[in-house]
């Protein structure tokens, strides 16, 4: 039985000096190559599955508002992997594996993925495309792993000062995704119960029910098209989960949820008032993801 000492994982080596030293290093690795790399890094576990969290209210509402097409016909993963070249040979040709010695930077990145203090798991769906990304931070260094198909992965490592820009990369919309006017304003604040009920009503095309719900909450009928648009315009979603995994047990610190509407990303945020729980839907950009996560990250890293 192989014993893995996660507490002694190799650190990410310091980057070269100068302006280039602060730039992220990126490598594309196939799944077999990644598994070989993890094996040569002491059998370090890979973060393919995020920590179990249970769905919060924002996530459950996001599920209903964020109905998107499936990811299409799934590739026959085993058939695709079977056509790939031998991973040890391809790693050796790239100079990443010399005999049994793994590239130092690559080894450090895998070690950081295995034994971080802070985890940020990103799940982004845009149309039929789903991207998963796992960011891991410890001691001012960050390593990230991302994939869109489970076959080819991008492994990156960089100083924490570059983290905001790297988080934004995950939320940037593909060039082929159209954007235009939306029926949802840049800032919307409504009773949570109203939006929750409307999310159930709209897929069933119960137009009269939306009007009745608005009247029940003493809100004008001009909000009915907005409630409908929250479901009909949705073309994607983003979820970012922040967790402290430095101890024996994972502690989830918070979840950020976004919806992709006709004009781009909108953040979902619940808040409590004397009148009850409310939901704020605010227009955001990809670069705002780090700002959205900052309060939760600060709490975990304190």
* Cross-sheet strand order for the sheet of 25-30: 25-30, 152-159, 141-147, 129-138, 118-126, 236-244, 251-261, 264-273, 276-283, 187-191
Residues 6+ positions from 113 with CB-CB distance below 8 Å: 44, 46, 47, 134, 136, 143, 145
User: How open is the CA angle 98-99-105, to the nearest 5 degrees?
Assistant: 40
pLDDT of residue 53: 41
pLDDT of residue 16: 42
The answer on 171 and 282 residing in a single domain is yes
User: pTM, whole model, 2 decimals?
Assistant: 0.82
The answer on 215 and 87 residing in a single domain is no
Walk along the chain (302 residues) and give the pLDDT tens digit of each residue. 333 333 334 444 444 444 445 568 999 999 999 999 999 999 999 987 544 444 455 555 565 565 444 333 444 666 777 788 899 999 999 999 999 999 999 999 999 999 999 999 999 999 989 999 999 999 999 999 999 988 899 999 999 999 999 999 999 998 889 899 999 999 999 999 888 888 877 665 556 777 887 777 777 768 888 988 998 899 999 999 999 988 777 788 889 999 999 999 999 999 998 888 999 999 999 999 999 999 988 888 77
Indicate whether 4 belongs to any domain. Answer: no
pLDDT of residue 206: 59
State the Cα–Cα distance between residues 147 and 153, nearest whole angstrom.
5
Indicate whether 13 belongs to any domain. Answer: no
The answer on 194 and 86 residing in a single domain is no
pLDDT of residue 63: 59
Indicate whether 122 belongs to any domain. Answer: yes
Indicate whether 290 belongs to any domain. Answer: yes
The answer on 156 and 212 residing in a single domain is no
Domain assignment of residue 211, given as a range: 187-232
The answer on 260 and 204 residing in a single domain is no
Indicate whether 17 belongs to any domain. Answer: no
pLDDT of residue 207: 61
Would you mind telling me the total number of residues written for the chain in this entry?
302
The answer on 192 and 109 residing in a single domain is no
The answer on 129 and 197 residing in a single domain is no
Indicate whether 3 belongs to any domain. Answer: no
Indicate whether 18 belongs to any domain. Answer: no
* Token reading at 147: 């994939």
The answer on 103 and 196 residing in a single domain is no
The answer on 202 and 153 residing in a single domain is no
The answer on 277 and 130 residing in a single domain is yes
Residues 6+ positions from 212 with CB-CB distance below 8 Å: none
Last residue of a domain, one of 199, 232, 265: 232
Indicate whether 14 belongs to any domain. Answer: no
Report the number of distinct structural domains present in the chain: 2
The answer on 209 and 97 residing in a single domain is no
Counting other chains too, the contacts that 210-214 makes at CB distance below 8 Å and 24 or more residues apart are none
The answer on 201 and 294 residing in a single domain is no
pLDDT of residue 203: 61
Residue 205 φ/ψ, nearest 5 degrees: 55, 40
């Amino acid at each position: 039985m192989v014993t893995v000492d996660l507490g002694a994982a190799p650190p990410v080596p310091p980057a070269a000096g100068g302006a280039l030293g602060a730039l992220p290093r990126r490598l594309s690795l196939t799944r077999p190559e990644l598994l070989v790399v993890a094996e040569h890094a002491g059998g370090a576990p890979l973060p393919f599955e995020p920590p179990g969290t249970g769905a919060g209210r924002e996530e459950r509402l996001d599920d209903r508002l964020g109905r998107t097409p499936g990811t299409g016909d799934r590739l026959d993963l085993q058939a695709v992997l079977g056509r790939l070249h031998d991973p040890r040979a391809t790693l050796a040709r790239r100079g990443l594996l010399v005999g049994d010695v793994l590239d130092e930077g690559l080894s450090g990145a895998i070690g950081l993925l295995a034994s971080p203090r802070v985890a940020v798991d990103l799940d982004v769906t845009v149309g039929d495309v789903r991207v998963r990304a796992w960011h891991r931070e410890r001691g001012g260094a960050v390593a990230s792993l991302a994939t869109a198909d489970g076959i080819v992965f991008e492994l990156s490592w960089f100083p924490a000062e570059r983290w905001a820009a790297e988080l934004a990369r995950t939320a940037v919309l593909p060039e082929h995704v159209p954007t235009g006017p939306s029926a949802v304003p840049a800032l919307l604040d409504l009773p949570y119960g109203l939006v929750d009920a409307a999310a159930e009503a709209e897929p069933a095309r119960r137009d009269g029910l939306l009007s009745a719900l608005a009247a029940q909450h003493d809100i004008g009928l001009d909000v009915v098209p907005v409630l409908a648009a929250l479901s009909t315009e949705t073309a994607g979603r983003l979820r970012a989960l922040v967790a402290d995994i430095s101890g024996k047990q994972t502690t989830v610190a918070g979840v950020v949820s976004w919806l992709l509407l006709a004009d781009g990303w909108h953040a979902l945020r619940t808040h409590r008032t004397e009148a009850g729980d409310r939901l704020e839907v605010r227009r955001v950009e990809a670069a705002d993801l780090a700002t959205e996560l900052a309060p939760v990250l600060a709490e975990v890293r304190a």
